[in-house]
Amino acid sequence: MHEMSITQSVVDICTQNAAGRRVTAVVLEIGELSGVVPDAIEFCFEACTRDTLLDGARLLIERVRARGRCRDCKAEFALSSHYAPCPACSSFGVDLLSGEELRVKELEVE
């Protein structure tokens, strides 16, 4: 399962950063276009953290809005998909500015 291995690597990152301390909360940033399902991460989190430094830690997930910039007219706008054209000039030359992130933003340790 995709989300299970993602959650496992998040737990690994947190464990390394905690350096032996107990983790009480984790803030995770997940981009709208990352393809990662937050509910599935939450579901896996409990199983992945059992008997680790993160056991019982709260998981807070922040969704990151997807934004793009048009290469032709330089307009910036909210993106609904990877293949959405520029709303100003209909160009498909759109650079993704945000929305694909999956990262540990904050770690709360004891």
Q: Which long-range contacts (CB under 8 A, 24 or more apart) does 32-35 make?
A: 32/63, 32/64, 32/65, 32/66, 32/79, 32/99, 33/66, 33/79, 33/81, 33/82, 33/96, 33/99, 33/100, 34/99, 34/100, 34/101, 34/102
The two three-digit tokens of residue 28, written as one number: 């995770």
Considering the rule CB under 5 A, would residue 89 count as an interface residue with Zn ion? Answer: yes
Considering the rule CB under 5 A, would residue 88 count as an interface residue with Zn ion? Answer: yes
Out of 26, 30, 48, 86, the residue judged to bind Zn ion by CB under 5 A:
86
Considering the rule CB under 5 A, would residue 73 count as an interface residue with Zn ion? Answer: yes
Considering the rule CB under 5 A, would residue 78 count as an interface residue with Zn ion? Answer: no
As measured in angstroms, the least distance from the Cβ of 72 to Zn ion is 5
Show the binding pattern over residues 33-72: x = contacts Zn ion (CB under 5 A), - = does not: -------------------------------------x-x
Binding site for Zn ion (CB under 5 A): 70, 72-73, 75, 86, 88-89, 91
